[in-house]
Structure 1
């Protein structure tokens, strides 16, 4: 009997407000080093998913300088709006009677906030500079070059809309660590991370919540290390009672700081702690048939020791097999049916005639820190260092500014 494995290089879960991805290939790289002197500015691809063709820009509290191909225009607070939109073969800039087109537009921010509005996003605010470049008729490419701590401040609130300060501090350290890892591992030319779930959610400055900046400032420069190496600080929304091992989700060696951990039901307040869903058996099998030219009549599920689904194998009437890894299958199903069909790989399946009933726990891949669990522990009086030690076994919090020679190895 033959087996077919379908591997995804990037694990995206479209539409969730929480980090839920991992670049699988990074686990197979040899040990390498990150130069910390080059990590002060993070380059983030923004609004890729929203893909607005028209944006309105205002200088909120400091002047903005718009650098076109052969011209520079200054916009001061109170000067009104600038419109930037997709032209026929470039970026079109329009302010009052001025209309210019260029392949690239750079907005230099003189210390304030760039106020950006589009129909797709409403109003957002960004620190740092903004580069807008014409890709093709499909849209504009926008890159925000922002300071590391300003970026972390935004990610805290974009990822974790909680009030518990020690949960927010936990998110700050984890996000900062993951950011540095991604800056070194990024395969994208021109930028380090994307502003959605493929990396971390980043919505710019969240001006109504100063506690996010407080959490970032209180932990400024702090990162997680294991054996003096920068760790892969994975995290997800809700572990559902137990976290998973990284090798259960992705190929590569076991990472000693990402072991399965019973989180003592600390994430039980999450709306995703327990869930159920149903699918039509016919729709379920027809999808497999249409996509993979394989006609299933039955299936079988295997689980890891943690209880998470390791593989799902379909059988046809000739006893041939079609096998998927558990997390791979979750993502495939979510793209086809609904992005919340399989919220995690911690689930069981019962087929009852024409219906397939699925019950599960948790939201996301479940590896590393559980965000709702961090909230639960913070409510129980734990401080952020204890929370991080719990979820990342054997790790240590260090200040990146204190690292000798400003160079650190990455844990693989």
Structure 2
């Protein structure tokens, strides 16, 4: 059987399951369909078009129109980690169950379930809408599952609505952790918009590239954070996940049209790092972090050969300037370099000078001379040391020049003039948009940023 025939046979089975599920009464959750991994086949550009399956214009978790969601693995997203108390509510009815499926409480639309850590057990209380199974109680054992009554219902945590179900479980160091458990494809509906932004149709191929990169990133992280009880954080620690509120039609369509696709190298999923702006040149992983070289995470010249201009030239961070007064930077360094200073205090900066650059023009080593000693800074860590005085966060990138302003021989101001936003490894998101505008499809874009890789259908 050909790969294309196998794929459409799987989708036909998934559609049949969806139709049966729509007719069946709400009952115990059916186990997830096992994932079929195709490791030895490269997806052909001539495979049957995905639009033979009806794709609705508005975002929805309707598996009849999105059958790959039935085949996708389940992702556990850490929404709230290690908290003493958490409230969960819903616009529709919902239930609280044990992990074995025994109902503890049935709550109506608009009700709030409050979970409180009680030193090894959980206390559950509810406000309004309680019926059937009762309002809960004390001495409950984690994990507890919170599930909407309707198949496509949502649950809200801290005012944010999420698809799937929520699991309230013990945090490794005490307290409670709330995990959103849902299929990979539905998870991506809330990731792609937060990572690529709300963009227009002219960069649709870049949005598809983002969807494949984000799916690949999540696939490689499945199980890596099991000690914490989930797979990925919902923040920049992994991928930003905004739940249902983040969704919009163009991004949802990109997820659906690439459903199941991941990037591989030698048949295995890659670590698909990506960033906002590379300023015309991405970075190799070993230039930025203390990692061994990786064949597909290398420096890539990101310039349109037809115009000689960088694909990401429209980024607001393509070129940037950051300034500090002498005293501002002294205060920052005493905080960000506390581990290196070991109780000493900087009161005077004498000099700052770039000693060595990487092949992608990022700083490999910088000499910082102060009255508390001389230090060598470099690689991506420099962004956490030279934090901006004008805003919260870290320095835009490690691709910059430094200039000192002196009066009477003493440093009075430090100016960094640079380009790019992020670590610079892997796909450049604004560059991908430029490539899309130049007519490149998402496969071409991904091959450019991850050389030597292949895209396969994983399910």
Q: TM-score, normalised by structure 1?
A: 0.78
> Given the alignment of the two structures, is residue 362 of structure 1 paired with residue 401 of structure 2, yes or no?
no
Q: Is the 8 A contact 1:108 1:128 kept in 2?
A: yes
Alignment match of 2:439 (pick from 381, 396, 399) = 381
**Would the aligned equivalents of 1:237 and 1:371 in 2 still touch at CA under 8 Å?**
yes
Cα distance change on mapping 1:136 and 1:260 into 2, 3 Å: closer
Partners in 2 of 1:95 and 1:132 — Cα distance?
A: 18
Q: Name the structure 2 match of 1:165.
A: 204
Q: What residue number does 2:326 align with?
A: 281
Aligned length: 358
Q: Is the CA contact (8 Å cut-off) linking 1:277 and 1:341 kept in structure 2?
A: no
Report the Cα distance in structure 2 between the residues aligned to 1:278 and 1:228, rounded to whole angstroms: 46
> Relative to 1, partners in 2 of residues 1:350 and 1:207: Cα closer, same or farther, differing over 3 Å?
closer
Aligned twin of 1:84: 114
Secondary structure of the residue aligned to 1:188 is helix
Q: Among residues 348, 364, 381, which one is paired with 2:401 in the alignment?
A: 348
- Structure 1 counterpart of 2:46: none
- State how 1:6-405 maps to structure 2 within 5 Å: 40-48=73-81, 53-60=85-92, 63-67=93-97, 72-75=104-107, 79-86=109-116, 89=119, 90-96=122-128, 98=135, 100-101=137-138, 102-104=140-142, 105-109=144-148, 111-118=151-158, 122=159, 124-133=160-169, 135=171, 140-161=176-197, 162-163=199-200, 164-186=203-225, 188-206=227-245, 209-264=248-303, 265-289=310-334, 291=338, 292=341, 293=344, 295=346, 297-301=350-354, 302-316=356-370, 321-334=374-387, 338-340=391-393, 342-353=395-406, 354-401=412-459
C-alpha contact 2:352 2:402 (8 A) present in aligned 1: no
Larger relative CO (CA 8 A, sep 6+): 1 or 2? Answer: 1
Q: 3-state DSSP class of the match of 2:155?
A: strand
Q: 2:328 and 2:180 mapped to 1: Cα distance?
A: 42
Q: Which moves more between the two structures, 168-177 or 284-293?
A: 284-293
Moved more, 160-169 or 80-89: 80-89
3-state SS of paired residue (2:384): helix
Is the Cα contact below 8 Å between 2:88 and 2:156 reproduced in 1? yes
| 8 Å Cα contact 1:326-1:345 kept in structure 2 | yes
Distance 1:324 1:86, change over 3 A: farther
Who wins on radius of gyration, i.e. which is larger? 2
What secondary structure, in the 3-state scheme, does the structure 2 residue paired with 1:225 have?
Answer: strand
Distance (Å, rounded) in 2 between the aligned partners of 1:35 and 1:313: 52
Conserved 8 A contact 1:91-1:134: no
Does the Cα contact within 8 Å between 2:194 and 2:246 map onto a contact in 1? Answer: no
Counterpart for residue 409 of structure 1: none
Aligned-pair CA distance for 1:294? 6.0
Alignment partner of 1:46: what SS?
strand
* Preserved CA contact (<8 Å) 2:95 2:103: no
Alpha-carbon distance in structure 2 between the residues aligned to 1:336 and 1:86: 39
Q: Structure 1 residue 92: deviation in Å?
A: 3.3
Indicate how the Cα distance of structure 1 residues 385 and 215 shifts in structure 2: closer, same or farther if over 3 A, else same.
Answer: same
CA contact (8 A) 1:276 1:357 kept: yes
Q: Displacement of 1:87 after TM fit?
A: 5.8
Looking at secondary structure, tell me which structure has more strand per residue.
1
Instruction: Tell me if the contact between 1:294 and 1:316 (Cα under 8 Å) persists in the aligned partners.
Output: no
Q: For residues 237 and 48 of structure 1, do their structure 2 counterparts lie closer, same or farther at Cα, with a shift above 3 Å needed?
A: farther
Task: Note the C-alpha offset of 1:208.
Answer: 5.3
Query: Offset of 1:54 from its aligned partner?
Result: 4.8
More deviation, 276-285/244-253: 276-285
For the Cα contact (< 8 Å) 1:195–1:201, is it kept in 2? yes
Give the Cα–Cα distance (whole angstroms) in 2 for the partners of residues 137 and 223 of structure 1. 34
Task: For residue 228 of structure 2, give the secondary structure of its aligned residue in structure 1.
Answer: coil
Change (3 A) 1:266 1:172: same
2:401 aligned counterpart, secondary structure: strand
CA contact (8 A) 1:288 1:294 kept: no
By how many angstroms is 1:213 displaced? 2.1
